[in-house]
C-alpha cells in the first residue's frame, strides 16, 4: 500500500475510534424489580430488553436516587442529589407555578451535552414542572415530544383528570394523541434515531416512558398474550410491560438498521420500584422480589431497580456488582463525550469501573431520603444498609447476606450504626427542605415512628 493511502486509512481508523458515542437514557415508570426477563421474570417476556441486557453490563446493585417519580428524574437530569436543591416531592400540575419544577439554578444533562457538541432530544414523560419556564426546550433539549405532566391516559380520547388528558406537546406546540401512547413514544424515539443517523455530530436522547405506571390500560392484542394470568390488574400490567419492551425493541432495531448500535451508550432504569397498591385494590400487581418494600419506601424495593449500561464498542457485557446510582449517568456520558463534568456533581464517571480499569467501588456511600430533613433516611456503605424511619430507632441490614432486609442486626453492630447515622447527619448539611409539596394523594406520606 502506498504511503498516502496508508496515512489516509490510519486517519480514518483514528476518527472512527475517537468518535464520540451517541447517548440514550431510557426510563421505565414504576417497573417492578422482578418484572423483566433479565431480572428473572418467567411470567412477563421482555425479549428486546433481554437482548439489550445481553450486550450490557447488568448492574446488580443499581439504584435511583429516590423512591418515586419526579425527584429521581431531577437527579438524573442534574447528576446531583435532588435534595440539594429541594426537589424531594412530585410537582403538582400547576402551569402558573414558577417554583414547582426543576430549579432554574441547576445546569441540566442536555445543556452540558450540547456544550460537548451533541444534538439533544427528549421523548415521553417530563414531570419536571408545568410552567413554560420548565419546558424541555428551555432546559437544554433541541427537540421534544411527549406529555409534560406526571402521567397520561394511554388511549386517545380516554377520560381522566386534567394532567392526564392534556394534549401531547412537540417543541411547545400541541399535537394529537394518535395511538397507544407507549407505541407512539417508541415511534418518536426511533424516528429521532433515524433522523440523526448521518449527522456530523452525535446525539443524546432522553426516552422517558410513563409505562407501566397507572392507569392500567393495554391494547387487546397485548392483553390476549397474557390471558393465562388470572388476576386482572396483573394481567394488564404485564401487557403494559410487554408493550413497552416492544417499543424499546423498535428503537434498538433502528440503531441496528442505521449501524449506530456499537457506538451508542445506553442507560436503562426504572424511576423507582414497583408500587404496592394492595391497600387500594387488594392486589399488589408488581413484583419486587426478592426485595423488601415498594415505591415510596427507603427499603430496597423503593429505589433498587433494573439497571443496564451498554456501550458495545467500549464495555464488555456481563454483570457488575458494586453499588451504582442513576446520578452517575451524567458524568459518565460527559466522560464518554470527552467533556469535563462540573465539580458539584454527586454522580461519578463509571467508565473506568465498568471497563475494569479501576477495581474499587465507584461510591463509598449512597444516600436516600423522603420527607425532608428528619424524614425517612437510608444510607448504604459497602454491604451495610441503614434505614431510619423518622424518629424511630435505626435499623441495620447486611445486604450481602440479607438482600430482603428481613433481619435487623443493629444491636450487634452499634459502631456501624453510629458511623452511618453520623454520615447521614453530615450529608444532610448539604441538603435543603423541599421547595414544593407533592399533590394530595401523590407521594407517600412519611411513616410515623412506632
Q: Is residue 159 part of a domain?
A: yes
State residue 284's pLDDT score.
Answer: 76
> 370 and 347 in one domain?
no
∠ at Cα 69 (63, 72), nearest 5°?
A: 45
Could you give the CA distance from residue 21 to residue 299 in angstroms, rounded to a whole number? 35
State residue 9's pLDDT score.
Answer: 44
State residue 10's pLDDT score.
Answer: 41
> Catalytic: which of 48, 59, 69, 83?
69
Q: Which domain holds residue 384?
A: 366-428
The helix or strand, by DSSP H or E, that contains position 270, with its residue range, turns out to be: strand 264-270
The CATH number of residue 52's host domain is 3.40.720.10
State residue 441's pLDDT score.
Answer: 56
Phi, psi of 6 (to 5 degrees): -65, -45
Q: Which residues pair with 237 in a beta bridge?
A: none
Could you give the CA distance from residue 428 to residue 67 in angstroms, rounded to a whole number? 18
State residue 6's pLDDT score.
Answer: 45
Count: domains in the chain: 2
State residue 230's pLDDT score.
Answer: 94
Q: Is residue 301 part of a domain?
A: yes
213 catalytically annotated:
no
> 337 and 389 in one domain?
no
363 catalytically annotated:
no
Phi, psi of 433 (to 5 degrees): -70, 155
- What is the per-residue DSSP string for 131-192? SGGG-GGGTT-SEEEEE-SS---SSTT----HHHHSPEEETTEEE---S-HHHHHHHHHHHH
Q: H helices within 290-336, ranges in order?
A: 300-303, 329-336
DSSP state of 304: B
Residue ranges for the chain with pLDDT beneath 50: 1, 3-4, 6-17, 442-450
Instruction: Choose one of 324, 354, 384: the last residue of a domain.
Output: 354
Q: Is residue 316 part of a domain?
A: yes
What grid cell was written down for 378? 437510608
State residue 3's pLDDT score.
Answer: 47
| pTM, rounded to two decimals | 0.93
State residue 277's pLDDT score.
Answer: 75
> 209 and 339 in one domain?
yes
> Catalytic: which of 48, 87, 127, 152?
127
Q: Helices (H), strands (E): how many in the chain?
A: 13, 16
pLDDT tens digits for range 99-158: 999 999 999 999 999 999 999 999 999 999 999 999 999 999 999 999 999 999 999 999
Q: How many CB atoms lie within 10 A of CB 439?
A: 16
Amino acid at each position: 500500500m502506498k504511503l498516502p493511502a496508508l496515512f489516509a486509512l490510519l486517519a480514518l481508523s483514528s476518527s472512527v475510534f475517537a468518535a464520540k458515542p451517541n447517548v440514550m437514557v431510557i426510563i421505565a415508570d414504576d417497573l417492578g424489580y422482578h418484572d423483566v426477563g433479565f431480572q428473572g421474570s418467567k411470567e412477563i417476556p421482555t425479549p428486546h430488553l433481554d437482548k439489550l441486557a445481553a450486550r450490557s453490563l447488568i448492574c446488580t446493585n443499581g439504584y435511583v436516587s429516590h423512591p418515586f417519580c419526579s425527584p429521581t428524574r431531577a437527579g438524573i437530569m442534574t447528576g446531583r442529589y435532588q435534595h440539594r436543591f429541594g426537589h424531594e416531592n412530585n410537582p403538582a400540575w400547576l402551569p402558573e407555578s414558577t417554583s414547582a419544577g426543576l430549579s432554574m439554578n441547576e445546569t441540566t444533562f442536555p445543556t452540558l451535552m450540547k456544550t460537548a457538541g451533541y444534538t439533544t432530544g427528549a421523548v415521553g414523560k417530563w414531570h419536571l414542572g408545568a410552567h413554560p419556564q420548565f419546558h424541555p426546550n428551555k432546559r437544554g433539549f433541541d427537540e421534544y415530544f411527549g406529555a409534560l405532566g406526571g402521567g397520561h391516559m394511554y388511549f386517545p380520547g380516554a377520560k381522566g383528570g386534567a394532567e392526564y388528558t392534556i394534549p401531547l406537546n412537540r417543541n411547545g406546540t400541541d399535537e394529537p394523541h394518535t395511538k397507544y401512547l407507549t407505541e407512539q413514544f417508541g415511534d418518536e424515539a426511533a424516528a429521532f434515531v433515524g433522523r440523526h443517523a448521518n449527522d456530523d455530530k452525535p446525539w443524546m436522547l432522553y426516552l422517558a416512558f410513563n409505562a407501566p405506571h397507572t392507569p392500567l390500560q393495554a391494547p387487546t392484542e397485548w392483553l390476549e398474550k397474557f390471558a393465562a394470568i388470572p388476576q386482572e390488574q396483573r394481567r394488564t400490567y404485564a401487557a403494559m410491560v410487554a408493550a413497552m419492551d416492544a417499543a424499546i425493541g423498535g428503537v434498538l432495531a433502528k440503531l441496528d438498521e442505521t449501524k449506530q448500535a456499537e457506538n451508542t451508550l445506553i442507560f436503562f432504569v426504572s424511576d423507582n420500584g414497583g408500587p404496592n397498591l394492595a391497600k387500594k385494590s387488594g392486589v399488589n400487581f408488581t413484583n419486587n422480589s426478592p426485595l423488601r418494600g415498594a415505591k415510596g419506601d427507603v427499603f430496597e424495593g423503593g429505589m433498587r431497580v433494573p439497571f443496564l449500561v451498554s456501550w458495545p464498542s467500549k464495555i464488555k457485557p456481563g454483570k457488575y456488582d458494586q453499588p451504582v446510582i442513576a446520578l452517575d449517568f451524567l458524568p459518565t456520558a460527559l466522560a464518554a463525550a470527552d467533556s469535563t463534568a462540573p465539580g458539584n456533581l454527586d454522580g461519578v464517571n463509571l467508565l473506568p469501573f465498568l471497563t475494569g480499569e479501576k477495581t474499587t467501588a465507584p461510591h463509598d456511600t449512597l444516600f436516600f431520603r423522603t420527607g425532608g430533613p428528619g424524614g425517612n433516611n437510608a444510607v448504604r456503605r459497602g454491604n451495610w444498609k441503614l434505614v431510619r424511619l423518622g424518629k424511630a430507632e435505626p435499623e441495620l441490614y447486611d445486604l450481602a447476606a440479607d438482600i430482603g432486609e428481613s433481619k435487623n442486626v443493629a444491636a450487634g453492630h452499634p459502631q456501624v450504626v453510629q458511623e452511618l447515622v453520623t454520615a447521614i447527619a453530615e450529608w444532610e448539611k448539604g441538603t435543603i427542605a423541599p421547595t414544593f409539596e407533592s399533590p394530595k394523594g401523590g407521594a407517600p406520606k412519611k411513616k410515623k415512628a412506632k
